[in-house]
Amino acid sequence: MNTPGTVKGFTDIFHPQSALYSFMEDTARRVFGAYGFEELRLPVLEFTELFRRGIGCETDIVQKEMYTFPDRKGRSLTMRPEATAGTIRAYLESGMYGRGTVNRLYTCGPMFRYERPQAGRMRQFHQINCECLGAGNVQTDAEVLLMLASFLHELGLEGLRTELNTLGCRVCRPGYKEKLSEFLHGLDPDALCPDCRRRIENNPLRVLDCKVPACRAQTEDAPAVRDHVCAACAGHFEKLLGILGKEKLRVVLNPRLVRGLDYYMRTTFEIVSENIGAQGSVAGGGRYDGLTSLLGGPEIPGIGFACGMERLALALAQAPDERERRSFAPRPDFYFAVLDAECADGALHAAQILRTAELSGIVDFGEGKLGSKLRQASRAKAEYCLIFGATELAGGKVIIKNMDEGSQVSISLATLADWAEIRFEHKREIGRKGGCR
């Protein structure tokens, strides 16, 4: 077999990992829906100009990491490296902004960046994004942060740290950038990495975000943006800290937190896991009140965040007891073991009766010995194994084995629907009580 391999940085996601991704998405839909957010499905391809204008031409993403190519008409297209710019494009193009209401949108899906593959970040990676558009008040900042914290809690994550900073606004940030540039130009350029030497000239805030130890040492005494914001931005940030304190959300102030995208202003934040090593950020975002006008629309306030699903999966793998207790994939109710070929049609019909009663399960149509079938049922983690061979077919019966207890009974096929209905009611009762099978 001479099948081509996968492209470097792209990977297949099989079960049970795929079930974990579904669990994260389902949890997002449930939690975000409780806050009034609605799902938006975005295209993977956008015109390159969207990201150049939205993300910023001087960012590493635009300069180094985008998958960009011309289409057959010579137009430059890019596989989306992030979702916020696309969400704003869809929001403006659809005319949602003209309704005069706050719009809360979330999206899930793959993103693409050409960078060195590493744990928790492939060249095709997956994100869950939330964007709240049309509200500039500090309470919205707090609500978005609390919703993110609730989502991560519902996933069962522990050992998380919420880092927070303010980046000022278009009124006060130019003055801070001038002071920062003056400080950076006073450093020994030979002590900085090539990227930081370039950033000093075209994007000085990103120098603070550099992870190279030598660069971090050089900028240890750099002026903090929080000390140079205007009164309005300072008041906004202090009010936010007060609200989060009342809601018992602990935060850590991080003056280096500037994020990697040009459109952020005022509130910026990251959620960092202490359990997955140096690349510990599992979510991040902030306020971007100027982005809609940058992309050709009216001035509309906005705030949002993105969660890296690969990073979340790494963190979930490290979660203690909660990770072990939760089954991300639904447990099959039944495993139908067919022992003889002539029983296959009857097993198919019986399984459809079970599924009509909203039970889930697998039918093994292949012939085989009972011991082998029971082992397969055990591997599938089925609650019951239904055993159906020539003897059962002749008697119009089926054997039902409880895989947890080891007990078994033989019932008439004519009463299988009644048995299934009892099992479904039991499942529903457990669901109402919030238990897990």
Which of 45-59, 96-110, 331-345, 407-421 comes out lowest in average pLDDT?
45-59
Mean pLDDT calculated for residue range 288-300: 88
Strands 103-112 and 38-39: parallel
Beta-carbon count within 10 A of 346 CB: 16
Give how far Cα 332 sits from Cα of 323, 353, 372, 385, Å: 19, 15, 18, 10
Which pLDDT band holds residue 320 (cuts at 50, 70, 90)?
low
* Predicted local distance difference test score (pLDDT) of residue 58: 60
Residue holding tokens 């102030």? 253
Instruction: Retrieve residue 329's tokens.
Output: 């994939």
Mean pLDDT calculated for residue range 345-364: 92
* Predicted local distance difference test score (pLDDT) of residue 221: 85
Which residues lie below 8 Å from residue 403, measured CB to CB, with a gap of 6+?
335, 377, 378, 382, 383, 384, 385
* Predicted local distance difference test score (pLDDT) of residue 423: 81
Give how far Cα 181 sits from Cα of 87, 169, 173, 176, 177, Å: 33, 17, 12, 8, 6
Taken in order 274, 276, 279, 280, is the CA torsion positive or negative? Answer: negative
| pLDDT (tens digit per residue) in 216-275 | 888 888 888 888 899 999 999 999 999 999 999 989 999 888 865 667 889 999 999 877
Paired residues of 222 in beta bridges? none
Contact by Cβ (8 Å): 382, 403: yes
> What is d(CA 175, CA 228) in angstroms, rounded to the nearest whole number?
8
Helix (H, G, I), strand (E, B) or coil at 308: strand
Among 365, 240, 217, 263, CA closest to 52: 263
Instruction: Retrieve residue 374's tokens.
Output: 């029971």
pLDDT of 353 above 70 = yes
| CA–centroid distance for 63 within its chain | 25
**Which structural domains are found in the chain, ordered by start?**
17-172+229-324 (3.30.930.10), 334-432 (3.40.50.800)
User: Which alpha helices (DSSP H) does 186-319 contain, by range?
Assistant: 194-202, 213-218, 231-246, 291-294, 309-318
Helix (H, G, I), strand (E, B) or coil at 106: strand
Contact by Cβ (8 Å): 321, 415: no
Among 124, 126, 232, 117, CA closest to 173: 232
| pLDDT (tens digit per residue) in 171-204 | 888 888 888 888 888 888 888 888 888 888 877 8
Among 241, 246, 235, 243, CA closest to 163: 241
| CA–centroid distance for 38 within its chain | 15
| pLDDT (tens digit per residue) in 145-159 | 999 999 999 998 888
Helix (H, G, I), strand (E, B) or coil at 65: helix
Peptide bond preceding 43 in cis form (omega within 30 of 0)? no
pTM, whole model, 2 decimals? 0.83
How far does the chain reach from its first CA to its final CA, in angstroms?
A: 42
| pLDDT (tens digit per residue) in 80-136 | 999 999 999 999 999 988 877 889 999 999 999 998 887 777 899 999 999 999 999
pLDDT of 70 above 60 = yes
Determine what percent of the chain is predicted with pLDDT higher than 90: 52
Q: 144 or 211, which is more confident?
A: 144
Which residues lie below 8 Å from residue 420, measured CB to CB, with a gap of 6+?
353, 354, 356, 357, 359
> What is d(CA 47, CA 52) in angstroms, rounded to the nearest whole number?
9
User: Which alpha helices (DSSP H) does 357-404 contain, by range?
Assistant: 370-379, 390-395
> What is d(CA 303, CA 283) in angstroms, rounded to the nearest whole number?
14
